[in-house]
Structure 1
Amino acid sequence: MFPNNRPPFRRLPKIRENVNEAIRVKEVRAVFPDGQVEVMATPAAIRRAQELGLDLILVSPTAEPPVAKAMDYGQWQYEQKKKTHDAKKKQHVIQVKEVKFRPNTDDHDYDFKKNHALRFLKEGNRVKAVVQFRGREIAHVDLGKKLLLRFAEDLKDVGTVEGQPKLEGRNAHIIMSPIKVQAPPAKAKEKPAGAPSPKLDA
């Protein structure tokens, strides 16, 4: 066996970007906890933050000059993670929900699945309605097309059809997208009682 002369592996400390000495710009608009804002040389801003027991963190690197804030680095990390978490919660991922029919689907089963599709569209998701043909049912494609057109008509208030019904193999389908609800127009401010009416120019 050959001796292993390699030095032991050392894990390098993780460099905190845009914090204290890692800030590379010459001067910053420094913001301190007492509300004071001052454009000053970066080293001086770092020293002042450290005198307060805080870190200097570059919060707006693209500003002119860049904005740095004196605060606790751990607190700043917590706030950033919370912002990211809240943004993910608000973000809605549009999914394609599928509902399946047969060309001879009875009214009860049809209404049950239509109500599912109604809920999917109201939640902001797209819906793929599929009619499956088995065996000799493929000879009655027209029944499947009528069912899909009926489905689209019943949900026209909440969804729009993307194209015409399509036949792929032994399945026919349509895809519906939710209708975007527009915000109601802002109401005009009511004129207080007794306020003088505006005069018209002669």
Structure 2
Amino acid sequence: MWRCFTISGKRELELNEQIRDREVRVVGSDSEQLGIMSSRDALRLAAEKNLDLVKIAPTATPPVCRIMDYGKFRFEQQKKEKEARKNQRIVDIKEIRLSLNIDTNDFNTKVNHAKRFLKEGDKVKASIRFRGREMAHTNLGYEVMKRFAQVMSEFATIEKQPKLEGRSMQMFLAPLPKEKVQNKEEK
């Protein structure tokens, strides 16, 4: 027995002679119901109007077919997909590595990097890696993370509180909406 599986989620619509169903429910080009008829009659009706017969709901009983200009329909679909791709924004996660005994200037440099990442719209992952005896002083790591979060509070919200996982502590920051950042800068 031969089976065909579509690899992508998109399946092509059946049109004109590809429709093999005995009876189909036909919808006209201006969305009016034309009723249930044989696929041969529906195809003849579409040919009279110089349009295509497209099966839009193959799982319905009987399948629903629409009379439309398939080329124009595909063009509109591609245009919508292109517009959707253009408007989407991929959010990256940038990592800032802090240390348990970080100095003031190093801390300020890390804060400035994080501010830049947040202004670009990316999320920030702040992490501290504990080495050796530092595991006995995880509370100092929490203090560094709290200080970092406090300084970053006007640019970001804490998406995930500092959490110790194995030998590293991580915290996630998400950028504030642009309106809130502008309001804080004006004050």
TM > 0.5 between the two? Answer: yes
Normalised to the residue count of structure 1, the TM-score between the two structures is 0.58
Aligned to 2:125: 128
Determine if contact 1:57/1:71 at 8 Å carries over to the other structure. yes
Q: Could you tell which deviates more after superposition, 59-68 or 36-45? A: 59-68
Q: Deviations over 1:55-105 (max 9, x none)?
A: 111234455654422223222222222233333344444432212345225
User: SS of 2:162's equivalent?
Assistant: coil
Q: Deviations over 1:2-50 (max 9, x none)?
A: xxxxxxxxxxxxxx641112224411232225x6431132221111111
Determine if contact 1:29/1:65 at 8 Å carries over to the other structure. no
Q: Which has the higher strand share?
A: 2
Aligned to 1:118: 118
The 1:62–1:156 alpha-carbon spacing in structure 2 relative to 1, beyond 3 Å, is farther
Number of aligned residues: 160
Q: Which runs of 5+ in 1 are unaligned?
A: 1-15, 182-202
Higher relative contact order (CA 8 A, sep 6+): 2
Aligned to 1:56: 53
The 1:30–1:62 alpha-carbon spacing in structure 2 relative to 1, beyond 3 Å, is same
Aligned to 2:174: 178
1:99 to 96, 101, 106: 96
User: SS of 1:18's equivalent?
Assistant: coil
AA aligned opposite 1:37: Q
Q: Which runs of 5+ in 2 are unaligned?
A: 1-11, 178-187
Aligned to 1:162: 160
The 1:90–1:28 alpha-carbon spacing in structure 2 relative to 1, beyond 3 Å, is farther
Aligned to 1:84: 81
Normalised to the residue count of structure 2, the TM-score between the two structures is 0.61
Aligned to 1:18: 14
Counterpart-to-counterpart distance in 1, 2:15 and 2:65 = 9
Counterpart-to-counterpart distance in 2, 1:168 and 1:79 = 52
Q: Deviations over 1:131-171 (max 9, x none)?
A: 4689x9999876554322212233446322524343765xx
Q: In the alignment, does 2:26 pair up with 1:29?
A: yes
Query: Greater Rg, structure 1 or structure 2?
Result: 1
User: SS of 2:80's equivalent?
Assistant: helix
Q: Which has the higher helix share?
A: 2
The 1:179–1:111 alpha-carbon spacing in structure 2 relative to 1, beyond 3 Å, is closer
State, as a whole percentage, how many aligned pairs show the same letter: 29
Cα RMSD (Å): 3.8
Aligned to 1:148: 145
The 1:180–1:105 alpha-carbon spacing in structure 2 relative to 1, beyond 3 Å, is closer
Determine if contact 1:55/1:72 at 8 Å carries over to the other structure. yes
